[in-house]
Amino acid sequence: MDANVLRRKALTWVVGWQLILALLLFLPAWSVRFWEAWVYWILFFFCELLGTLYFLKRDPALVESRLKFGPTAEHEKSQKVIQAMFTVLACAVWVVPGIERRFHTSVIPRPFVLVADAIVVAGFVIACTALRENSYAFSVIEVKAGQRVVSTGVYAIVRHPMYAGGLLMLLATPPALGSLWALVFAVALCGVVAARLMDEERYLSRNLAGYKEYCGKVPYRLIPSVW
């Protein structure tokens, strides 16, 4: 894809996604007087924008590949189901805090909200570090010609550092938005992500040379010394 076309398409996606996120956050609250959502949304926007601009310069092919995502982009039937479940639960994580805000004030103290925001940013950083290390970190599960196993950097610590960063971000989202009930959906998302990565490992073990050996060298999937 032409560099200018890719840049325009990627930045349009960032802006469009942020508009959708704003609707998910503020419409259920039926108010823009939701300071937790404003802080979260601004941080999310800048993280997405800076990350996209960085990878457009460093690895445009990765950006292009990651523009294809979601249930319809997956090749495996199991992943289509998992992605659909992920989408529904992720939306709930963003929608429930607004509903909670509409009918109740936040019970989470401001310092804890701000700490959760910092954890959200940390999750983005971890995920971007994984993407920088691995140009094969596609949004859909597939193996391309010439693809190799990446075992350096954060991939020498856990096998799925990008998922680890994403889960950290998602688990911090409910408290960052002043919500307790949304934690239920965030925890459920952890189960969906676990199912996705285990299914992904089965696929890679069958189709990517050297992946089984890599799993033997790096035993932990998401959390060092835990799992």
CATH number at residue 40: 1.20.120.1630
The owner of tokens 């965030």 is 186
Query: Do residues 149 and 211 touch, judged by C-beta distance below 8 A?
Result: yes
- Of residues 135 and 142, more confidence is placed in 135
Whether 18 maps to a domain, the answer reads yes
Q: How far is CA 170 from the centre of its chain?
A: 8
Domain limits for position 66: 3-217
Question: In the chain, how many domains are there?
Answer: 1
What is the structure's pLDDT at 203? 87
What average pLDDT does range 8-35 have in this prediction?
Answer: 94
**What is the pTM (predicted TM-score) of this model?**
0.91
Categorize the per-residue pLDDT at 155 as very low, low, confident or very high, splitting at 50, 70 and 90: very high
Length in residues, the chain = 227
Cβ contact 170:90 at 8 Å: yes
Asked if 147 and 112 touch (Cβ cutoff 8 Å), the reply is no
